Amino acid sequence: MSAGRIRVGTASWTDPTLVKESDWYPRKSMSAEERLRYYASVFTMVEVDATYYYPPTEHLAALWTQRTPADFRMDVKAYSLLTHHPTRRPSLWDDVAAELADEHAGKSSVYLHHLPEAAVDRAFERFRTALMPLHSAGRLGAVFFQFPEWFTARRDTRRYLRSLPERLPDYQLAVEFRHRSWLDESTAERTLELLREAGLAYVCVDEPQGFASSVPPVLTATAPLAVVRFHGHNRANWHAANVSPAERFRYLYSEDELARWAPRVGELAESARETHVVMNNCYRDYGVRNARQLAMLLGEGLQPDAGAEVS
C-alpha cells in the first residue's frame, strides 16, 4: 500500500500566547478571519480546540468553510460534555440544560451521566448538526474525542466507544486515551480491535512517560485516518494544578527529535488513506515552528505556496 496524504498542523490557531506573545502572525491587530486565512495559507490542517469548551454553531462552522481553502481540513475537538469531562453549566444548550434533574440543575459543572438518555441524544444531535457545514464543504477531517484519565478500560467505557458512530453518523471520529489501561500488554490488542471494528481512528500520542497514566507512543492506524498528536515532554507541568494549557504543553521539540519522528510518521502513513500530525505544544510559536519543521522533514504538510520565509 502506498503512503497516503500527510497533513501537518497545530492544535488551535488562536492560542493567546501565539497571538499576543509571538510574531508569527504578520500583525497583532489581525481579525479572527484574517488569522484563520493566514494560518490556512501555511498549513493544510488544524485542530479546533474551542469546541471542547463551548459547542459550535452552524453559523460559525459556515464561516470556517468560507475562510479556508478547499484543500484544508479541520479536526474538531468534541465538546467536553460528550467526552465525560466536567462541563460548565452555562455552556449547555438551553433545551439540554432544561433536562437536568433538580439535584444537578444548580451545579456549576455537570457531567453527561447527569442527563437522561433523551437529553444525551439531543446533545449529540445538536453537535452533529452544527458541524454539517464543515462536513458538506469537505473541510471536516475528524471529530476528535479526548477522554479524561478516569475514562479507563472498562465494560461501560467500551460500550460508550461503540455507540459513538451511531450517535455521529457520516463523520470520521478519532479517539485519544489519557490512561494507559487501554494500551497495556493485556488490553492493547483488544482496544485496537474495538476501534477497528467501530471505524474509530486511534490517536497516537507523544507525551511524558513514567506516570501511572502515561500512554505509550504506539503508532498504528485503526481507520482510513491516522492521527499523531505531539504533547511535548514537560514532565513538571504535565499533572501540575492551576497551570494554563499553554504552560502544560510548553515544550519545543529539537530538530533531532523531529528527525527521529519523521520516518515513523512516514511509515504510519503507509497504512492510512490520510494522516494528520498535530503539534499540541501551543506555547507562543512553539507549535507552528515545530509543525513547519516536521512538515519539511516529511516533504509534505504545508500549502504549496507557504514559502520558505515562514518560520
Q: Each residue of 160-181: pLDDT tens digit?
A: 999 999 999 999 999 999 999 9
Q: Does 309 map to a domain?
A: no
CB 277 within 8 A of CB 301: yes
Identify the DSSP state of 302: B
pLDDT for position 212 = 85
How many domains does the chain contain in total?
A: 1
CATH code, 16: 3.20.20.410
Residue 62 lies in a domain: yes
Q: Using the 8-state DSSP alphabet, how is residue 208 labeled?
A: -
175 found inside a domain: yes
Give the model's confidence band at 2: pLDDT under 50 very low, under 70 low, under 90 confident, else very high. low
Confidence (pLDDT) at 307 = 54
| C-alpha to C-alpha distances, 157 to 109, 120, 152, 163, 196, nearest whole angstrom | 21, 15, 7, 10, 16
Q: Which three cell numbers stand for residue 41?
A: 495559507
Within a domain: 235: yes
Kindly state whether residue 61 falls inside one of the protein's structural domains. yes
**What's the confidence (pLDDT) of residue 109?**
95
Q: Is residue 308 part of a domain?
A: no
pLDDT digits (tens, 9 = 90+) for 121-133: 999 999 999 999 9
Give the CA angle between residues 91, 59, 176 to the nearest 5°.
55
Tell me whether residue 9 is in a domain. Answer: yes
Spatial separation of the C-alpha atoms in residues 278 and 9, rounded to whole Å: 5
The CA dihedral of 294, 295, 301, 307, to the nearest 10 degrees, is 140
- Give the pLDDT score at 105: 87
Show the domain range for 73. 5-298
The grid coordinates of residue 201 equal 481512528
Q: How many CB atoms lie within 10 A of CB 297?
A: 18
Distance, in Å, from the CA atom of 25 to the CA atom of 18, rounded to the nearest integer, reads 8
User: Does some domain include residue 304?
Assistant: no
User: Following DSSP, what letter does each residue of 218-279 receive, concatenated?
Assistant: ----SSSEEEEEE----HHHHS-TT--HHHHT-----HHHHHHHHHHHHHHHTTSSEEEEEE
Whole-angstrom Cα distance, residue 171 to residue 169? Answer: 6
